[in-house]
Amino acid sequence: ELKVEQNPLFLSMQEGKNYTIYCNYSTTSDRLYWYRQDPGKSLESLFVLLSNGAVKQEGRLMASLDTKARLSTLHITAAVHDLSATYFCAVVTAGNQFYFGTGTSLTVIP
C-alpha cells in the first residue's frame, strides 16, 4: 500500500520566518496535490503538481515536485498568522486513487 509521510507533523513558527514542509511517498506517482484545512473546516485545494520538476507559487507558498526522489515540498516564505492551518499533500496512484499524507499542523506565532 502506498505510504505518504509528511514532516514535520507539527510546526510552530514565528511571523516573518521561512520554513519547508516535506511530503515523501513510497511508490511511483506523477501527480501530487496540496490542500489546506482550517480547524473544523473543509479541505481547500492549493496546488496541483503534474510533472517532475513542477513548481507552483501562490502568495507566500511555493510547492515543488521531484518524482524521482518521490518528494514534494511546500515552502513558506515570511510566514503570517493567516497561514496557520493544517496542510495535506495527496498522491495519486496509477489506479487514480488519492492517498493523503498525515498532515502538518502549522501555527504562526506573532
Partner 1 sequence: DSGVTQTPKHLITATGQRVTLRCSPRSGDLSVYWYQQSLDQGLQFLIQYYNGEERAKGNILERFSAQQFPDLHSELNLSSLELGDSALYFCASSVAKGGGGYGYTFGSGTRLTVV
Q: Which three cell numbers stand for residue 69?
A: 526522489
Site string for partner 1, 16-55 (x = CB under 8 A): ---------------x-x-x----xxxxxx--x-x-----
80, three cell numbers? 503570517
Instruction: Candidates 11, 65, 90, 108: give the one binding partner 1 (CB under 8 A).
Output: 90
Give the Cα-Cα-Cα angle 99, 35, 10 (nearest 5 degrees).
90
Could you give the 3-state DSSP secondary structure of residue 79? coil
Min CB(104)–partner 1 separation in Å: 12
d(CA 43, CA 57) in angstroms, rounded, equals: 18
Least distance CB 22 / partner 1 (angstroms): 17
Q: Which residues bind to partner 1, rule: CB under 8 A?
A: 31, 33, 35, 40-45, 48, 50, 88, 90, 92, 95-100, 102-103
